[in-house]
Amino acid sequence: MESNSVTDVVAKQNYLIPITKRPELCFIRGAGHYLFDQHDKGYLDWIQGWAVNTLGHSPEVMQQALIKQSAQLINPSPAFYNQPMLELAEMLCENSRFDQVFFTNSGAEANEGAIKLARKWGQKHKHGAFKIITFQHSFHGRTLATMSATGKEAFAPLFEPKVSGFTKVPYNDLAATESAIDDQTVAVMLELIQGEAGVIPADAEFVAGLDALCKQHNLLLIVDEVQTGIGRTGTLFAYQQYQAEPHIMTLGKGLGGGVPIAAMVIDKAISCFDPGDQGGTYNGNPLMCAVSAAVLQEVLAEGFMAQINRVSEYFCQQLSALAEEFGLGAIRGKGLLLAINTGPFSGPQIVELAREAGLLLNAPREDSLRFMPALTLTETEVDEGIALLAGVLTTLKAAK
Ligand SMILES: *Cc1c(COP(=O)(O)O)cnc(C)c1O
């Protein structure tokens, strides 16, 4: 494809408010595991919309769902029920421990909903308790309240004054969590794998301990599964690998497979919004719900999860071999949310060279690479990506 005015990145980038550093590439099309830029150069994509494209780029089932639903009904308003909304809510509840769903447009908005629901529950059932314990290095979104909940150090000085009522404690530290509980505490909110922090899993005993603490102190347990949900960690939801009975789970990213939809899913015993407390113009719109239902149907298909676990194991074996060869460090994560410590190499530098070589990666930290491929990954793409990565590491090693 010729570079044309639409794709002239250099000329037009100044029309955008700069919010992040981007390479001078403009992606034109995607197909499965690959993205193609304005020069039609192909890239093996292990970012996939930021752990979003569950089935890869532009899968047939999503195209069909969009076409069918857009011809039938796009938005009757949030004041009315629609069929895809009802069906998707049923699918989420029937395949989890939860009973009720509130749909949103982003993960941050789902977490906002969880924070509001916890505060409402505290007003109604816990003498106005409102404080929520969150964890250092956590990430919960970019609205003001979710930035306030987030434990990322870089967020601390921004946009003051923040929303108050968040107590941050060290992750995987049960004793610190217990000492942070006071009369005003209403909930504990955590990611079961801290994704943005660099793919740091919660320990089994820590989560079991949190669950027990919440029961003992009558607190709500909120799991932010925006990144870990929808098969990403090898079970439909990550909480299913832990001994815990969360009251609230938030979903986003993989739920839409690439389109904007997210959700707060709750235990009906704590349901307490009154009419008017919560809502949103696009929330539960049939177009996004229909696409999400089509994605979820694929993820729930016989054998889909087993393949994630098989390919994850193969991926980890290949990463181990690479680590051995180039002196990289530990591998972290579960399913297809994996990371590796880059040892003597710079993560961001690997990312740049890999992109030039045709492999899209993310470095959540200076010393780590994160892998978030489509869940339809096979051994073939693992081999291809590992070979590209080995090429990059060979170049960097030679330059040392
Ligand atoms: C991405 C992410 C969010 C925010 O989701 P948005 O859709 O970007 O608002 C919240 N929590 C976690 C764990 C995430 O990974």
Given ligand 1 and candidates 109, 148, 200, 253, which is best to mutate, with the most ligand atoms within 8 Å of its CB?
A: 253
Q: Is the pLDDT of residue 2 over 80?
A: no
User: Does residue 253 carry a catalytic annotation?
Assistant: yes
Other beta carbons less than 10 A from residue 32's beta carbon: 16
Q: Is the peptide bond before 161 cis (omega within 30 degrees of 0)?
A: yes
User: Does residue 139 carry a catalytic annotation?
Assistant: yes
Q: How far is the CA of 379 from the centre of ligand 1 (A)?
A: 28
Q: How far is the CA of 202 from the centre of ligand 1 (A)?
A: 17
CA-closest residue to ligand 1 atom 6? 107
**Which residues carry a binding-site annotation?**
107-108, 139, 142, 224-227, 281
Give the per-residue pLDDT at 9.
Answer: 86
Ramachandran angles phi, psi of 336, nearest 5°? -115, 35
Q: How far is the CA of 48 from the centre of ligand 1 (A)?
A: 14
Q: How far is the CA of 141 from the centre of ligand 1 (A)?
A: 5
pLDDT digits (tens, 9 = 90+) for 139-149: 999 999 999 99
Q: Which region, left, alpha or beta, applies to residue 339 given φ > 0 means left and ψ of -120 to 50 means alpha? A: beta
Given the residues 253, 267, 315, 326, select the one marked as catalytic: 253
Kindly indicate the confidence band of residue 1, based on its pLDDT and cuts at 50, 70 and 90: very low
Give the per-residue pLDDT at 10.
Answer: 81
Fold (topology level) of 3-59+303-399: Aspartate Aminotransferase, domain 1 (3.90.1150)
Q: Is the pLDDT of residue 6 over 90?
A: no
Average pLDDT of the residues in 240-267: 98
Smallest CA-to-CA distance from 335 within 361, 362, 313, 318 is with 313
Q: Which amino acid is located at 210 in the chain?
A: L
Q: Is the pLDDT of residue 312 over 70?
A: yes
CATH 3.40.640.10 boundaries in the chain: 60-300
pLDDT digits (tens, 9 = 90+) for 176-232: 999 999 999 999 999 999 999 999 999 999 999 999 999 999 999 999 999 999 999
CATH code for the structural domain at 60-300: 3.40.640.10
User: Does residue 400 carry a catalytic annotation?
Assistant: no
Give per-residue burial for 315-352: e unless 16+ CB within 10 Å, then b. Answer: bbebbeebbeebebeebbbbbbbbbbbbeebebeebbe
CA-closest residue to ligand 1 atom 10? 140
- Report residues whose beta carbon is within 6 angstroms of any ligand 1 atom: 106-108, 111, 139-141, 191, 195-196, 224, 226-227, 252-253, 262
CA-closest residue to ligand 1 atom 11? 140
Given the residues 103, 139, 326, 345, select the one marked as catalytic: 139
Ligand 1 atom at minimal distance to the Cα of residue 142: 9
Kindly indicate the confidence band of residue 342, based on its pLDDT and cuts at 50, 70 and 90: very high
Q: Is the pLDDT of residue 281 over 90?
A: yes
CA distance linking residue 67 with residue 65, whole number of Å? 6
**Which residues carry a binding-site annotation for pyridoxal 5'-phosphate?**
107-108, 139, 224-227, 281
CATH 3.90.1150.10 boundaries in the chain: 3-59+303-399
pLDDT digits (tens, 9 = 90+) for 40-81: 999 999 999 999 999 999 999 999 999 999 999 999 999 999
